[in-house]
Amino acid sequence: MWRTAMIWNNAIRLDHRIICRIVEPGARVLDLGCGNGDLLYLLAREKKARVQGIEMNESAIYECVKKGLSVFHGDIEAGLAEYPDRSFDYVILNQSLQEVKKIDGLVKEALRIGGKIIVGFPNFAFLPARLMLFFRGKAPITSSLPYRWYDTPNLRFLSVTDFRGFCREKKLRVLEAHYLGKKKETPFWPNLLARNALFVVAK
């Protein structure tokens, strides 16, 4: 009931629905920058995943604990070293990679402790962003990049093509790629039309 009622309707974010399809039942999942825990809660309920989060924001920690989730209060970049290799089946970096200082090191650590990583990020080359920059000469503000230049938590501005290039350069295998439009996946010209991208990556 909860299954059919919730998972495929729009009450659940598109990126969460896609990640929920990707993750196998019973998988061990670590969500880096898990926010209020909506995704982990979905995975725990829907996929019986064994989930753990790491989150910097204190009030988000309360939201996670209220959902019954286990979460560590701390910096995702400093919180992985103690985990043994392959502690998780999936390490998720959904909408948090662009806020990270040392991308290379974090991705490497995530791939050490998890078999696969799921990376989700806003596509900086999304058409409206390009138009805003080109015609109005202003730093883009879109639904997936809603911040102004002076209050954005984002440190990185990358496109679908940029991330594919990164994977090539670091010799990472892209197992799956999903390109997200407003309400559903968008199959054509992802670097132009996707608001957000989701990649499943392995070594």
Interacting residues toward other proteins by CB under 8 A: 2, 41, 44-45, 50, 52, 58, 61-62, 64-74, 79, 82-84, 87
Q: Smallest distance from the beta carbon of 151 to other proteins, in angstroms?
A: 22
Sign, Cα dihedral of 81, 87, 93, 96: negative
Give the residue with the Cβ less far from other proteins, 25 or 84. Answer: 84
Q: Smallest distance from the beta carbon of 34 to other proteins, in angstroms?
A: 12
Give the residue with the Cβ less far from other proteins, 73 or 130. Answer: 73
Give the residue with the Cβ less far from other proteins, 67 or 130. Answer: 67
Give the residue with the Cβ less far from other proteins, 116 or 195. Answer: 116
Q: Smallest distance from the beta carbon of 33 to other proteins, in angstroms?
A: 15
Q: Smallest distance from the beta carbon of 141 to other proteins, in angstroms?
A: 31
126: which 2 tokens?
Answer: 């999304």
- Residue 40, CB-side half-sphere exposure with 13 Å CA sphere: 31
Q: Smallest distance from the beta carbon of 142 to other proteins, in angstroms?
A: 31
DSSP string, 7-40: ITSTTS-HHHHHHHHHSPTT-EEEEET-TTSHHH
How far, in Å, are 14, 60, 116, 153 from residue 54 at the CA level?
A: 22, 10, 17, 17
Cα 167 from Cα 90, distance rounded (Å): 17
Give the residue with the Cβ less far from other proteins, 65 or 131. Answer: 65
Q: Smallest distance from the beta carbon of 175 to other proteins, in angstroms?
A: 24
Tokens 């204190």 sit on residue: 58
**Closest listed residue to residue 70, CA positions, set 40, 114, 25:** 40
Cα 144 from Cα 141, distance rounded (Å): 8
Give the residue with the Cβ less far from other proteins, 52 or 95. Answer: 52
